[in-house]
Chains A and B, each alone.
Chain A
Amino acid sequence: MSEQKQQVLEIKNIFEQEFSRFADVRNTINNLSLSVAENLRHEISEFKIKHTGKKSLIAEAKKLIGRVAPEERGTFGQFVQSVEKEIVTAIDGLEEKLKTYINEVKTAREAIDVTLPARRPRVGHLHPLTLLRQRIEDIFVSMGYAIEDDREIETDYYNFDALNIPEGHPARESQDTFYTTTGLALRSQTSTVQIRAMERRGAPLRVIAPGRVFRRDTPDMTHVPMFHQIEGLCVDKGITMAHLKGTVAEWLRRLFGKDTKIRMRPSYFPFTEPSAEFDFSCFKCDGTGTFEGERCRPCKGSGWIELGGCGMVHPNVLKNCNVDPEIYSGFAFGFGLERMCALMYALDDIRYMFDNDVRFLEQFR
């Protein structure tokens, strides 16, 4: 038996000798490049076949078991197996180590910078005037108003006469109004829609008329010859200025927050009597006039922002629409959308609204 044992020990010896060329690997593994590691792994798998495969020396050695005396076979067999196991364990250990290392390197290599921008087609933007108009329309629809619009090119009747703006009134001067060569007016206020809506719907009614209007203003930072107005009209029995104040306060609170306050100051418009201008407490400084220790910009330090005109619908306007002012009363209010937009977004030049410059448009959501 000792001959055979000697033979097995020799095999082990040969293995250990050959395996010694991998001795360094354990220590230097972390410095290996991926390709060297992969080559090594390949080498080891061939080495494994050579030393543990069917044609390996140890496989040959197993054949010796039969040649050993039967009573020693058990012991010898165990001995051969233990040597085989030793070889397999040594190779597998290294192989596993390499495999783990290669996986780690590969994973590290495939690691991504998760902070890189998402892959997403560019999204476009609605015009700030659309965004604001939609918000305001939503508020009024929820308050029971119908949204209306109508013609942009109008007769003098709808643009002026029906609104109690008599011939000779300063608002009728052609300096302010665009006229077509056939003598029609580009509507200079959305109040024209008041008339058309009352003609269509009669009283009682509640309408909001957002729309495009035109005035002969030379473009500058705060003027453009075409802009948008939103006009509200409520006609019913028993409508008072308190309802007007309440309504204006309500929608401004919904737009700018529940602490928003409003005030009305007497004013003059031909189509309302009594007339007023309405202001609301500044949304930036909460009406204090000071923001972060400096004079607040939107309200110019006054704490109030002037927004638009309002009043009780003039009885002549009601009569022009066949509504009896002895039975019905109503309020109307109006304001410019561009100005409001400019206030909300701290925009100092409203001409940008119609330049369609993408650098401008893409700032609004």
Chain B
Amino acid sequence: MNISYNWLKDLIETDLTPQEIAENLTKIGLAVEGIHPFANDFVFDIDLTSNRGDCLSHWGVAREISAIADCGLRIADSNLERNSANPDLVTIQDADLCHRFTARIIKNVKIKPSPEWLVKRLEAIGQRAVNNVADITNYVMHELGNPMHAFDLNKLAEKRIVVRRARVGEKMQTLDEVERSFSEDMLLICDSEKPVAVGGVMGGLHSSISDETTDVLLEVAYFKRDSIRQTSRKLGLATEAAYRFERGVDIENLIRASNRATELIIELASGVAGDFVDIYPTKREEISVELRYEKIKALTGLDVSNEEAARILTKLGFKSAIRNPQPAIFTVPTWRHDISIEQDLVEEVARHVGYDKIGVELPPSVGAGEYQPNEVRKFHLRQALANLGFDEAISYSFIDTKNDDTFELIPDLVDEELEEKFVTLQDSIIEGAVRMRPSLLSGLLDAVRTNFNHQRKDVKLFELGKVFATASNEMDLPKEQELFGLVLTGGETFEGKSMTGRELDFFDTKGALEVAMDAINLPSLQYKPKEIKHLRKGQAAEILFNGRTVGSIGRINDEISATYKFRQPVYVAEIDLQTLLAEKENAVFYKPLSKFPAVTRDVSFLVKRTTSYTEIIQTVQDQGFDLCKNVSFVDVYEGKGMADDERSVTIRLEYRSDERTLIEAEVEEIHRQILAEIETKLGAKQRF
């Protein structure tokens, strides 16, 4: 909001420089964002908070300065006659929306351009001059804060005003030359037949002041704040008047504002004051607020004497009924719509004493700090993944609906029975993104595409974030589940080296998941081959934890790759982190170190490709030989020299006793039995 320095000086007795005024205003919460010179004037650009409708005028700002600088206000009273021969001039039919309405008739006006001083004043605060009468209504609004409207009296049917709600289908062309239709909850200013203005928002074109106007009806009224807000929003009409009515104007200042405007019209448009009516059906209730002076210190820590507190409040227009003994009771001025409780009064005093006077101290310490229950584990998870070369992604929570059927979601997230499985926004800001994501994968794939577009072909990303789905029970709020997802593609990369190493594959993805599980201190996951919607057949697995499916892992299928224009394999994994973090952490117990040497045997088997490594290991373990302490993976070979449906798997068996050194013969016997079982059970052939 723009406020003129010269104009302010008309209203207050002060010698403060523009700079000093700006500092004072900022200090008390009317933040001055800039001081701009304009002709021989200075204009303050004030960023006003939405609660301070009372400061949307020079008078309101002057009042604040009079309190902070302790100086007087100049108020000019009027001695205009206030009576009417015409009791029907104004009728209020809907007093719940129009609390008070004043009208003044001014006759024989000459419409012409405003004098230069008035034009300058308006231009200084960024207002455009139109004609003398219109400019005066605008001027008085910026001076005293009450929006007002001047009608061409001769354009009003029966030359009278009816204030009522709109009727079905009622239309009118507003001043901006737009034809508008009204709904029945909107308040209109009408003549005996038709609407002539949208109450408190904008006047009608037909009844507006023109060069031919000779007689004027000047409206200064008070409208219900919520009603103005709704009407203004519905019509898409954000006007200066509506802006002020919404925030609340001073209902007790209507006559003064009307008189001020009337006198200016008499002076500048050579009019003659005529009838005046004041219809005030909905009286404002007086608000009294109790102030225990000690509350000022209790809330702000400021030491303020009772006298100083009372002085500040009085300067701001509060009237104190009882000062002593405590508590004092203050009557809230009619222009303040933001004061209703004791804390509000404390703030008034505190901001005028100055927040800079508030001390700086720490509250006495109690209790101990704590992270969120799993924050430390998540910290380790993030750090471990970063150490493994993954960058952390954060993607938008809303995604495009076109991803709806692309990804297989973690189990138990969506209820397939529901008609609306997903959480959907009413509309989007980023085009198409109305779906609250049920998976992290679309965001991660978008990120891969972004990086490919920048010629970055080796990408490893992970994300921790919430996904969303409709709850099965419609009374419940939507499900929010924290997942962990990762994506990787391209080759192994090294710090400071442009050339990449080996191409990354499924097992790098799996490795990253294992690192993640170690970081959150949980036992390892199991992987079971499975067809997964978004993954390529034969390179896809579901991930299980203690036999329960918690996610999926694999290579993005060709169809999705084509949509994203990926020309190289992309691997993803997604797991239900929230469920995993609810599991009990691994406890570590020391195992005695063996004193006896181990015997190891490497053995290769020719197996069908359908036989999994896990099956081989399981076959060894199932035999339950105590002396076979460990079985591990050495290598797998397929391709040249192998049948298409076969591969060679090499494993290492480790035999050891905790009590003695084993002799060759006993190892041989167990080893033979183990190999025989693998051959029989899995149809494997020992190669060497």
Of A2-10, A37-45, A85-93, A267-275, the stretch lying at the interface with chain B is: A267-275
Closest to A247 in B: B362
Closest to B386 in A: A124
| Residue in contact with B396 in the complex, picked from A147, A204, A225, CB distance below 8 Å | A225
* A102 CB, min distance to chain B CBs, angstroms: 34
| Residue in contact with A267 in the complex, picked from B29, B385, B424, B444, CB distance below 8 Å | B29
Is the pair A180, B350 in contact by a Cβ cutoff of 8 Å? no
Q: Which B residues touch A354, using CB under 8 A?
A: 394-396
Is the pair B350, A121 in contact by a Cβ cutoff of 8 Å? no
Q: Which B residues touch A68, using CB under 8 A?
A: none
Q: How far is the CA of A243 from the CA of B447 in the complex (A)?
A: 44
Annotate A175-190 by CB proximity to B: 1 below 8 A, 0 otherwise.
0001111101010000
Q: Is B40 an interface residue (CB 8 A)?
A: no
| Interface size range on A against B | 35 or more
Q: Is B382 an interface residue (CB 8 A)?
A: yes
Annotate A213-243 by CB proximity to B: 1 below 8 A, 0 otherwise.
0101111000001100000001010111111
Q: Which B residues touch A264, using CB under 8 A?
A: 355-356, 358
Closest to B500 in A: A122
Q: Is A249 an interface residue (CB 8 A)?
A: yes
Q: Is A362 an interface residue (CB 8 A)?
A: yes
Q: Which A residues touch B454, using CB under 8 A?
A: 357, 359
Q: Which A residues touch B581, using CB under 8 A?
A: none
* A20 CB, min distance to chain B CBs, angstroms: 54
Annotate B345-375 by CB proximity to A: 1 below 8 A, 0 otherwise.
0110011000110111111011111111001
Q: Is B450 an interface residue (CB 8 A)?
A: yes
Those of A108-167 within 8 Å (CB) of chain B: 117-127, 129-130, 134, 137, 140-149, 151-155
Is the pair A123, B387 in contact by a Cβ cutoff of 8 Å? yes
Summarize A's interface: helix, strand, loop or mixed: mixed
Is the pair A274, B375 in contact by a Cβ cutoff of 8 Å? no
| Residue in contact with A240 in the complex, picked from B300, B341, B424, B443, CB distance below 8 Å | B300
Q: Is B492 an interface residue (CB 8 A)?
A: yes
Q: Is A358 an interface residue (CB 8 A)?
A: yes
Closest to B52 in A: A268
| Residue in contact with B425 in the complex, picked from A178, A246, A265, A329, CB distance below 8 Å | A178
Looking at B355, B367, B450, the one whose CB has the most chain A CB atoms below 10 A away is B355
Q: Is B682 an interface residue (CB 8 A)?
A: no
* B335 CB, min distance to chain A CBs, angstroms: 16
Is the pair A266, B347 in contact by a Cβ cutoff of 8 Å? yes
Closest to A119 in B: B494
Is the pair A265, B362 in contact by a Cβ cutoff of 8 Å? no
* B366 CB, min distance to chain A CBs, angstroms: 6
Q: Which A residues touch B371, using CB under 8 A?
A: 137, 141, 147
Is the pair A225, B360 in contact by a Cβ cutoff of 8 Å? no
Is the pair B31, A265 in contact by a Cβ cutoff of 8 Å? yes
Is the pair A356, B393 in contact by a Cβ cutoff of 8 Å? yes
Q: Is B379 an interface residue (CB 8 A)?
A: yes
| Residue in contact with A361 in the complex, picked from B298, B392, B492, CB distance below 8 Å | B392
Annotate A303-318 by CB proximity to B: 1 below 8 A, 0 otherwise.
0000000001011000
Is the pair A240, B456 in contact by a Cβ cutoff of 8 Å? no
Q: Which A residues touch B447, using CB under 8 A?
A: 355-357
Q: Is B605 an interface residue (CB 8 A)?
A: no
Annotate B442-483 by CB proximity to A: 1 below 8 A, 0 otherwise.
011011001100101001111000101000000001101000
| Residue in contact with B343 in the complex, picked from A130, A134, A249, A315, CB distance below 8 Å | A315
Q: Which B residues touch A134, using CB under 8 A?
A: 379
Is the pair A242, B341 in contact by a Cβ cutoff of 8 Å? no
Q: Which A residues touch B302, using CB under 8 A?
A: 241
Is the pair A181, B369 in contact by a Cβ cutoff of 8 Å? no
Those of A8-29 within 8 Å (CB) of chain B: none
Closest to A208 in B: B369
Is the pair B387, A127 in contact by a Cβ cutoff of 8 Å? no
Is the pair A124, B390 in contact by a Cβ cutoff of 8 Å? yes
| Residue in contact with A241 in the complex, picked from B226, B350, B391, CB distance below 8 Å | B350
Q: How far is the CA of A355 from the CA of B31 in the complex (A)?
A: 35
Identify 8 new A-B residue pairs, CB closer than 8 A, beyond the known A265-B355, A361-B393: A127-B392, A127-B393, A142-B369, A170-B50, A206-B366, A206-B369, A266-B347, A329-B299
> Which A residues fall within an 8 A CB radius of B?
117-127, 129-130, 134, 137, 140-149, 151-155, 168, 170, 173-174, 178-182, 184, 186, 204, 206, 212, 214, 216-219, 225-226, 234, 236, 238-243, 245-247, 249-250, 263-268, 273-276, 312, 314-315, 329, 353-359, 361-362
Q: Can you name 17 A-B residue pairings with CB atoms under 8 Å? A: A117-B496, A121-B388, A122-B494, A122-B495, A124-B389, A147-B375, A179-B426, A180-B423, A180-B436, A186-B436, A219-B430, A225-B429, A241-B355, A263-B356, A265-B27, A358-B459, A361-B393
